[in-house]
Amino acid sequence: MGTIFSKSKRGRSKFSLEDIGIKEKKLSELVPEKLLRKSEIGLPDLNESLVVRHYTNLARKNYGVDNGIYPLGSCTMKYNPKVNEEIAKYNCFTDIHPYQDISDIQGSLAVMYELGELLKQIIGLAGVTLQPSAGAHGELCGLLIAKKYFNNKKEDRTKVLIPDSAHGTNFASAAMAGYEVIEVKSNRSGTIDLESLKEIIIKESDSIALIMITNPNTLGIFESDILNISKIMHDNGSLLYYDGANLNAILGLARPGDMGFDIVHLNLHKSFSTPHGGGGPGAGPVLVTKRLKGYLPVPVVGKDGKRYFLNYNVRNTIGKIKSFYGNFSVCLKAYCYLLSSGKELKNISIDAILNANYLKKKLSKLFDIPYKKNIMHEFVMSAKKYKDKGGSALNIAKRLIDYGIHPPTIYFPPIVEEAMMIEPTETENIESLDNLTEVFSKIVKEIERNPEVLKNAPIGAGTKRVDELKAVKKPILKE
């Protein structure tokens, strides 16, 4: 449909400074000559109706949770109540400034403080910062806290353990924080192999700072050995880090603090009511045990009687991890979501688990599901048996688009061949899950009868299949 610039024609905007009584000459009287632009700014010349049509048509090409199911595993793409967006738009929240005197912003500080208190209860830990702006940023923050903690104890721990099923950000954050990574193998049921873990501990002993665990892990499986793992790590003087991206599976049912975790990051944009996917603002609060509270980034929001304040006096703080206090509007939406969920919080996870298990059962008739036991809110199936016939995970994903469904996460986690990782979330109903199964079943029939159609998919999406490598290296953003 072309960019807005391709629709520009000189004179179409019909807007001129002369219309409001400013002649060009007068402009130079109003603005010092040296500040006046010498050349045209290059904005497209369009009237209002063309601009509205352009963006409306563009928006209609989009697909989001407001259009239909978005089963992107690990990402937790669920419907977020619009009322929270409305509240986040209130002037009393949008018209404040971080440099304002704290006596003027007691309400906003209360939101941050009270959100922190709720998160502490949900996670079962004693300290919290809302500063990091996403999960990966929270990982970095948590790892820097661990680093400073060991430095202060004069312990030279340089290594981090990460299971082979973990998200790529875990490896990247550990490297950014200056740690060496040791990968821990999964066993046949998809969880951490205790024997391999013990072997690593014997070999590396006090060089290990911590282990990063996602629980349930990225196969959707709960690490039922977590208390043993926790004991092994703590006996070795190491810490446990919890990647909270899968919190949607355990809300109100289990707490990372009770499992023995020392540092936890959350992704408010996955678990608590912030739409995401376009690189918009997120928030990755970090929670820590009592002994690590003194390492949190400053300022920490505090409360003294009825007065809220910003505490810069944190003994061993790692400093600042982000300007000001974090992405406030994301935190605000999470606070509203938690208050409106109240005691029903655990139903979010119960429904998410039920939906995933229902889909797993139905789709296991069509696809192999290599790790099936103890599935929580997501599962991973393999398209391996269809690959040679033209039904690779990629081809199936592209064909789903033609049926009006957003594809699941593919080729992750890497321990499953031709992986398709499905997370229906709690906000889908049974009709929507049945429809997804039916579409997969149609595609499987196509693989058997007419696989060509998959190779060319998507055919009805307004764009052909993009060459993903070229799209990254030589993007053409104009057409």
Reading the block at residue 199, the tokens are 């072997």
The footprint of ligand PLP on residues 197-236 (CB under 6 A) is 214, 218
Q: Which DSSP category does 18 fall into?
A: G
- Scanning 14-22, 134-142, 201-209, 287-295 for contacts with ligand PLP by CB under 6 A, the matching segment is 134-142
Q: Amino acid letter at 298?
A: V
x-marked contacts with ligand PLP along 155-174 as a string, rule CB under 6 A = ------------x-x-----
Q: Which C-beta is closer to ligand PLP: that of 229 or that of 245?
A: 245
The footprint of ligand PLP on residues 253-292 (CB under 6 A) is 267, 282, 284
436: three-class secondary structure by DSSP: helix
Q: Which C-beta is closer to ligand PLP: that of 222 or that of 308?
A: 222
- Least separation, in Å, of the C-beta of 138 and ligand PLP? 8
| Strand-by-strand arrangement of the 419-422 sheet | 379-382, 419-422, 409-410
Indicate the Cα dihedral angle 313, 317, 319, 321, nearest 10°. -120
* Residue from the set 245, 292, 400, 405 that interacts with ligand PLP by CB under 6 A: 245
Using the rule CB under 6 A, is 145 a contact of ligand PLP?
Answer: no
**C-alpha span between 446 and 167 (Å, rounded):** 32
* Residue from the set 71, 116, 127, 135 that interacts with ligand PLP by CB under 6 A: 135
x-marked contacts with ligand PLP along 20-59 as a string, rule CB under 6 A = ----------------------------------------
Q: Which C-beta is closer to ligand PLP: that of 142 or that of 391?
A: 142
Q: Which C-beta is closer to ligand PLP: that of 139 or that of 418?
A: 139
- Scanning 6-14, 59-67, 131-139, 346-354 for contacts with ligand PLP by CB under 6 A, the matching segment is 131-139
**C-alpha span between 283 and 265 (Å, rounded):** 10
Q: Is the peptide bond before 216 cis (omega within 30 degrees of 0)?
A: yes
Q: Which C-beta is closer to ligand PLP: that of 209 or that of 249?
A: 249
Q: Which C-beta is closer to ligand PLP: that of 250 or that of 443?
A: 250
| Strand pairing report for 208-214 and 239-243 | parallel
**Cβ atoms 75, 377 nearer than 8 A:** no
**C-alpha span between 338 and 123 (Å, rounded):** 13
Kindly report the backbone phi and psi dihedral angles of residue 127, in degrees, each rounded to the nearest multiple of 5, phi listed first.
-125, 155
**Cβ atoms 282, 136 nearer than 8 A:** no
| Footprint on this chain of ligand PLP (rule: CB under 6 A) | 74-75, 134-136, 167, 169, 214, 218, 243, 245, 267, 282, 284
